[in-house]
Structure 1
Amino acid sequence: MNQVASLIDRYYSWLRDKTAWRAINKDWVEITTPYLDRHNDYIQLYLKQEGDKYVLTDDSHTITDLIQAGCSLDSPKRQKLLQMTINGFGVHLRGQALEVQATPANFALRKHNLLQAILAVNDLFYLASPTVASFFFEDVALWLDSHDIRYTERVKFAGRSGYDHMFDFVVPKSKRQPERILKAINNPNKDYAQATAFSWLDTREARSPEATAFAVLNDEGRQISPSVIEALQNYEITPMIWTRRDEMLDRLAA
Structure 2
Amino acid sequence: MDTDMDTNQLLNDYMSWLRDQYTIKKIDQADEVTTPFLNMIGDNMRLYVERLSDSKLRLSDDGTTLENLLLYGINLNSPMRKQIMKETTYRYNVDLFDDVLSVTGTSANFPLMKQNLLAAMVTINDLSITKKTNIERLFFDEVFTFMQDQDFGGLPQYQISGKSGVDYIIDYTIPPKEKKPMRLINFQNRISFNQVVVNAYQYRDIATRSHKIASDISYAIIYNNSEGSVTKRAEQIARDAHISLLSWSDKSHILELK
The TM-score with structure 1 as length reference comes to 0.48
Q: Quick check: which has more Rg, 1 or 2?
A: 2
1 or 2, which has the higher helix percentage? 2
Where relative contact order (Cα < 8 A, 6+ residues apart) is larger, the structure is 1
The TM-score with structure 2 as length reference comes to 0.47
